[in-house]
């Protein structure tokens, strides 16, 4: 993402926060946004694994 686009998106995040928001609230929102964007990019690039593979790796019930 271009720097100007990131700045615009940051403003949108800030505008959605309540007036009582803290720095931690802002950092959390940015972290969540970045994590989602990375996950979507991985998905588009085909860098995902089937849920059954992950469950087997961590012995999670199906």
pLDDT tens string, the chain, 62 residues long: the values are 677 799 999 999 999 999 999 999 999 999 999 999 999 999 999 999 998 888 888 886 66
CB neighbour list of residue 49: distance below 8 Å, 6 or more residues apart: none
pLDDT digits (tens, 9 = 90+) for 23-37: 999 999 999 999 999
Q: What is the pLDDT of residue 1?
A: 66
User: Into how many domains does the chain fold?
Assistant: 1
DSSP per position, 1-62:
--HHHHHHHHHHHHHHS-TT--HHHHHHHHHHHHHHHHHHHHHHTT----HHHHHHHHT---
Residues spanned by the domain of 10: 3-58
């Amino acid at each position: 993402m271009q720097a100007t686009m990131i700045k615009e998106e940051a403003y949108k995040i800030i505008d959605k926060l309540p007036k009582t928001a803290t720095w931690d609230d802002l950092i959390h929102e940015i972290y969540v946004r970045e994590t989602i964007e990375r996950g979507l990019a991985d998905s588009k690039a085909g860098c995902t694994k089937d849920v059954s593979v992950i469950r087997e790796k961590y012995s999670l019930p199906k």
